[in-house]
Amino acid sequence: MSQLILEQALNGLQFGLMLFLLAAGLTLVFGIMDMINLSHGSLYMGGAYLGAAAAQASGSFLLGVVAAMLGMAAVGVVLELLLLRRLYRRDHLAQVLATFALILISNETVRMIWGPQPLMLNPPAALAGPVELFGFSYPAYRLLIVGVGLAVAAFLYLLVGHTRAGMWVRAGASNREMAEALGVDVRLLFTGIFALGAALCAAAGVLLGPLLAVQVGMGENILILAFVVIVIGGIGSIRGALVGSLLVGMVDTLGRALLPTLLRAVATPEVAGNLGPALASIAIYVLMAGVLFFRPAGLFPARA
C-alpha cells in the first residue's frame, strides 16, 4: 500500500512539475500584462506536435524537445508582435474572444498538417525501462521528467530572483506602470516573457507526449488546470505557480488513485465506482474554492 502511495506521489510530483511549466508562463502573462490568454494551451499542443514530428524525423527525442522549444518560442514571438500586443489595453472580454479564436485556428492548423488521428511519441529508448527506487520499480522516463521539472524550477528561481531581467519581471508583476516609469523596457520584456512561456509550454508538451496522447484539443484540457494552478498560487507569482502546481498535481493524482479505494471501504462498490472518479476530478476545484475562501488573492499574490 505504501508503495502504491509513494509511486502515486511521485506521479503527482511529476505531473505537478509539468503543470508548473505551463503555469509559470501563464501567471507571468496574466500578472504582468493583465491578459487572459486562452491559447496558452495551444502552445503546449503545438510543442507536442512539433516535438513528435521532429523526433520521428530525426530519431532523437532530445532533438524533438529542442525543436519544439525553439519552434514555439518563435511562434510565441510572432504571435505577440502581430496580435497580442494589441490586446493588452483591451478589456478581458476582447482578450477572451481573440485568444479563443486562436484556439480554433491552432487546433485546425494542427489538424490540417497532421490529420485528426493522435500522433505517436515514444520516450527515448534509453529511458524506456524501469529503475529501482526505494525498493520498487519506477519508470525511468518519469524520473527524467521530475528531474527536468526541478531543473526548470531552479532555473526560473535563479532567473527571476537573482538576475536583472528577473528583477524587471518582478517589478512588472508587482506594478506595471511603476516599472515603466522606472525605465524598464516593458515591450521587450513582454515579448521575452511570452517567448519564454511558449518554450516552457512546448517542453511540457513534448515531455508529457509519451504519457498522455498527442492529439488535437489536448491544450484545452490542461489549460484549465493551469488556470486553477495560478489562481491558487496567486496571479503573477512564480513561487505561487510552483506551489500551486505541486498542490494540484498531488491532489489530482493521489485523488484519482486513492479516493475510489477509500470510498470502497465506506460505500458499495457501485457507488464507489461511480463517485470515486467524479470526486477525484472535482477535488482540485474544491481545493481552489477552498483556497480562495481563505486567501481571496491566492497563496502568494504578487500584486501589491
Enumerate binding residues for other proteins (CB under 8 A).
30, 36, 38, 83, 86-87, 90, 92-94, 96-98, 100-105, 107-109, 111-112, 220, 224, 227-228, 231, 235, 274-275, 277-278, 281-282, 285-286, 288-289, 292, 296-297
Enumerate residues 6+ apart whose C-beta is below 8 A from 252: 12, 15, 225, 280, 283, 284
Cell reading at 101: 479564436
Query: Within the chain, what is the greatest distance between any pair of CA atoms?
Result: 65
Nearer to other proteins, 59 or 273 (CB): 273
Nearer to other proteins, 146 or 223 (CB): 223
Nearer to other proteins, 267 or 275 (CB): 275
- Please state the closest distance from residue 93 (CB atom) to other proteins, in A: 5
Q: How many residues does the chain have?
A: 304
- Please state the closest distance from residue 281 (CB atom) to other proteins, in A: 4
- Please state the closest distance from residue 147 (CB atom) to other proteins, in A: 31
Nearer to other proteins, 14 or 27 (CB): 27
Nearer to other proteins, 38 or 169 (CB): 38
Nearer to other proteins, 55 or 263 (CB): 263
Which residues share a beta bridge with 129?
A: none
CA 279 – CA 265 distance, rounded (Å): 15
Strands (E), the chain: 130-133, 136-139
Nearer to other proteins, 38 or 144 (CB): 38
Nearest alpha-carbon partner for 124 in 71, 69, 64:
64
- Please state the closest distance from residue 185 (CB atom) to other proteins, in A: 25
Enumerate residues 6+ apart whose C-beta is below 8 A from 148: 17, 203, 207
CB 35 within 8 A of CB 88: yes
- Please state the closest distance from residue 171 (CB atom) to other proteins, in A: 21
CA 269 – CA 267 distance, rounded (Å): 6
CA 252 – CA 258 distance, rounded (Å): 10
- Please state the closest distance from residue 224 (CB atom) to other proteins, in A: 6
Grid-cell match 517567448, residue found: 195
- Please state the closest distance from residue 57 (CB atom) to other proteins, in A: 24
- CA geometry: angle at 23 spanning 19 and 24, to 5°? 120
